[in-house]
Amino acid sequence: MQKTNILPEKNKVIARRKLTQEEIRREVIALQDMGHKRLALEAGEHPLVNPIEYILESIETIYSIKHRNGAIRRVNVNIAATTVENYRRLKNAGIGTYILFQETYHKKNYEILHPTGPKSNYAYHTEAMDRAMEGGIDDVGIGVLYGLNTYRYDFVGLLMHAEHLEAVFGVGPHTISVPRLCNADDINTDDFANTVPDDIFRKIVAVIRIAVPYTGMIVSTRESQISREKVLDIGISQLSGGSHTSVGGYVRQEEYDETTSQFDVSDRRTLDEVVGWLLDLGYIPSFCTACYREGRTGDRFMSLVKSGQIANCCQPNALMTLKEYLEDYASPETRVKGERMIAAEMLRVPNAKVRRIALENLDKIVKGERDFRF
Ligand code: SF4
């Protein structure tokens, strides 16, 4: 059978539904009821259907909702490449990371995938992060979709992109994501010439970790539980949990709409199951959003990460935000495991003063106060 690198039509369909602000409000409440503190806002790239004003209004709606003890503290935005002025407006709206995947750095394959439409200009798409930085956004997230081209080409392209951002702006990517083509209803990876097998996938994660040690690395629910587990100890630092990828999918979970889903989810566990699993594996599930809210972004963030000093903040922040999760959302089993983790790890906070304050804050969290951070 002839192999291809072209996605079937369904995967190129722009979501036909668009949420009203009231629907967004209900989605955010559903996310807060799960325990989420950050989200990624995604939208189709149609400039008239989804103008920047719609995105800005949605961000304002999301940040405005305080539901019980919950709040979304960091809105990351994943929208199509846009202008310096629009990036400036996103920055002023208080976004966390601006995320845009290259899909493939291979120009010819990119143009085959995007023959027309707003994404068809390869240079405009590829230079988006430069414009984002010029617009004042200094936390940017990059990634390719492994499988659209040979992984070697896109791997080198990704690292060159990171090197370019660091050389020109003094700030490398805040996050790198590693999506790859996976089997789905209408995709059989055997039909694709460049799909990435599990062993190569793990090598990609490991080498990116070595090459760009300061960067957060993300793996989504597109990967299975087993696959996610195998990349955790070689470089992945951020995971999504309890994700729904269809438009309005958090409120209308029972009405899964495959025509608007961005990708098929392999890991369908709840957030609580993911948190419990991480605890079983010996990791601290952290809901921390402190850096961006303390203004530790861009080169300021990078200097703390590269020197390792950020660990003085990460450990206590992780434990305090885990405590919030345990108090407000965890199942009894997860709560037992989480309390055990907090008791053990609090002893390992190296700075005595920080440890004392963090312990005091844990007591305050039990009494109902929220949102402590270093
Ligand atoms: S303190 Fe650590 S865990 Fe929290 S946002 Fe900063 S880098 Fe992330």
**81-137 pLDDT per residue, tens:** 999 999 999 999 999 999 999 999 999 999 999 999 889 999 999 999 999 999 999
Kindly give the distance from the C-alpha atom of residue 16 to the centroid of ligand 1, in angstroms, as a whole number: 36
Q: Note whether 52 and 108 are same-domain residues.
A: yes
The proportion of the chain whose per-residue pLDDT surpasses 70, expressed as a percent, equals: 92
Q: Which range is least confidently modeled, 2-6, 142-146, 300-304? A: 2-6
Q: Note whether 84 and 198 are same-domain residues.
A: yes
Is residue 82, in this structure, part of any structural domain at all? yes
Across the chain, mean pLDDT equals: 92
Query: Residue 317: CB within 6 Å of ligand 1?
Result: yes
Residue ranges in the chain assigned as alpha helix (H): 21-34, 52-64, 84-92, 107-113, 122-126, 128-134, 151-169, 198-211, 225-232, 271-281, 290-293, 298-307, 311-328, 332-346, 352-366
Angle at 239 between CA 127 and CA 139, to 5 degrees: 35
Q: Note whether 15 and 134 are same-domain residues.
A: yes
- CA pair distance 68, 368, nearest whole angstrom: 11
Kindly give the distance from the C-alpha atom of residue 155 to the centroid of ligand 1, in angstroms, as a whole number: 26
Mean pLDDT of all residues in 294-303: 92
- Number of domains observed in the structure of the chain: 2
Is residue 330, in this structure, part of any structural domain at all? yes
State pLDDT tens for residues 320-356. Answer: 999 999 999 999 999 999 999 999 999 999 899 999 9
Beta bridge partners of 41: 77
Kindly give the distance from the C-alpha atom of residue 88 to the centroid of ligand 1, in angstroms, as a whole number: 24
Is residue 373, in this structure, part of any structural domain at all? no
Is residue 18, in this structure, part of any structural domain at all? yes
Tell which atom from ligand 1 comes closest to the C-alpha of 288. 4
Mean pLDDT of all residues in 132-148: 96
Q: Note whether 354 and 227 are same-domain residues.
A: no
pLDDT at 263: 63
Encoded amino acid at 75, one letter: V
- CA pair distance 263, 184, nearest whole angstrom: 8
Nearest alpha-carbon partner for 170 in 133, 218, 142: 133
- CA pair distance 111, 313, nearest whole angstrom: 44
Query: Residue 290: CB within 6 Å of ligand 1?
Result: yes
CA 295 to each of CA 46, 138, 305, 315: distance values in angstroms, whole numbers, following the listed order: 32, 11, 14, 18
pTM of the model as a whole: 0.92
Half-sphere exposure of 151 (CA within 13 A, CB side): 22
Q: Note whether 112 and 244 are same-domain residues.
A: yes
Beta strands across the sheet bearing 216-219: 38-42, 74-78, 98-99, 140-143, 175-177, 216-219, 238-239
Q: Note whether 253 and 332 are same-domain residues.
A: no
Of 209, 244, 268, the one marking the end of a domain is 268
Residue 13 DSSP one-character state: P
Look at residue 9 and tell me whether its pLDDT is greater than 60: no
Kindly give the distance from the C-alpha atom of residue 111 to the centroid of ligand 1, in angstroms, as a whole number: 37
- The domain of 224 spans 3-268
Is residue 278, in this structure, part of any structural domain at all? no
Of 210, 239, 268, the one marking the end of a domain is 268
Look at residue 365 and tell me whether its pLDDT is greater than 50: yes
Query: Residue 319: CB within 6 Å of ligand 1?
Result: no
pLDDT at 236: 98
pLDDT at 190: 84
Is residue 292, in this structure, part of any structural domain at all? no
Q: Note whether 320 and 261 are same-domain residues.
A: no
The CATH number given to whatever domain includes residue 26 is 3.20.20.70
User: Nearest residue CA, atom 1 of ligand 1?
Assistant: 314
Residues with Cβ within 8 Å of 20's Cβ and at least 6 positions away in sequence, in order, are none
- CA pair distance 174, 184, nearest whole angstrom: 29
User: Nearest residue CA, atom 3 of ligand 1?
Assistant: 314
pLDDT at 255: 58
Mutation test of ligand 1: which of 288, 303, 309 has the most ligand atoms closer than 8 Å to its C-beta?
288
pLDDT at 1: 43
Q: Note whether 86 and 27 are same-domain residues.
A: yes
What are the two backbone dihedrals, phi and then psi, of residue 143, each rounded to the nearest 5 degrees? 175, 165
Residues with Cβ within 8 Å of 63's Cβ and at least 6 positions away in sequence, in order, are 72, 75, 94
Of 249, 268, 287, the one marking the end of a domain is 268
Q: Note whether 245 and 321 are same-domain residues.
A: no
Kindly give the distance from the C-alpha atom of residue 57 to the centroid of ligand 1, in angstroms, as a whole number: 27
Q: Note whether 216 and 326 are same-domain residues.
A: no
Q: Note whether 263 and 337 are same-domain residues.
A: no
Kindly give the distance from the C-alpha atom of residue 12 to the centroid of ligand 1, in angstroms, as a whole number: 35
Query: Residue 194: CB within 6 Å of ligand 1?
Result: no
Query: Residue 302: CB within 6 Å of ligand 1?
Result: no
Look at residue 7 and tell me whether its pLDDT is greater than 90: no
Is residue 289, in this structure, part of any structural domain at all? no
Kindly give the distance from the C-alpha atom of residue 74 to the centroid of ligand 1, in angstroms, as a whole number: 12
Q: Note whether 260 and 326 are same-domain residues.
A: no
Query: Residue 286: CB within 6 Å of ligand 1?
Result: yes
**What sign results for the dihedral spanned by CA atoms 268, 274, 278, 281?**
negative
pLDDT at 260: 59
Encoded amino acid at 186, one letter: D
Look at residue 8 and tell me whether its pLDDT is greater than 60: no
User: Nearest residue CA, atom 2 of ligand 1?
Assistant: 314
Is residue 360, in this structure, part of any structural domain at all? yes
Nearest alpha-carbon partner for 135 in 173, 89, 190, 203: 89
